[in-house]
Amino acid sequence: MLDCVTDKWTVLVLGLLRSGPWRFGQLRQGIEGVSQKMLTQTLRALERDGIVSREVFASSPPKVEYSLTPLGQSLAATLDELRLWAEQHMDAVLRHRSSYDAAAMRHEPVPVNRAGAAR
């Protein structure tokens, strides 16, 4: 259950939809790095769970709008707090991260380049 709401794309999609209905292509452009496949998949899952609603306009060119259901709005609000936390504490995290890495350096003797970088 947590899996579906903590999904990366889900968080981003709901972030955009908070401001009102969006078309497929708009979402695609608004979310950097999302593939058409993942966007479709994410939206289907959200629709299935009653988080977003999908409205098809039988026009030419075809047009499909996605918007939040009431349930979706409550989730989006909750997720937004998470995003807020991330924004507010990102610098603290990054700072701690680099000092941690620096400390690790001192233990792991020589970072000799044995056949390329780490990993």
Partner DNA sequence: CAGCATCCTGGTAGATACTG
Partner DNA sequence: CAGTATCTACCAGGATGCTG
Instruction: Name the residues that contact DNA, by CB under 7 A.
Output: 8, 23-26, 28, 33-38, 40-41, 43-44, 54, 56, 61-64
The binder of 105, among its own copies, DNA, none, by C-beta within 5 to 8 A per type, is none
Nearer to its own copies, 26 or 99 (CB): 99
The binder of 25, among its own copies, DNA, none, by C-beta within 5 to 8 A per type, is DNA
Closest approach, Cβ 44 to DNA, in A, equals: 6
Q: What is the DSSP letter of 18?
A: T
Token couple for 71: 């349930």
Nearer to its own copies, 23 or 54 (CB): 54
Query: Counting every residue, how long is the chain?
Result: 119
Q: Taken in order 16, 31, 93, 87, is the CA torsion positive or negative? A: negative
Token couple for 91: 């610098």
Nearer to DNA, 54 or 95 (CB): 54
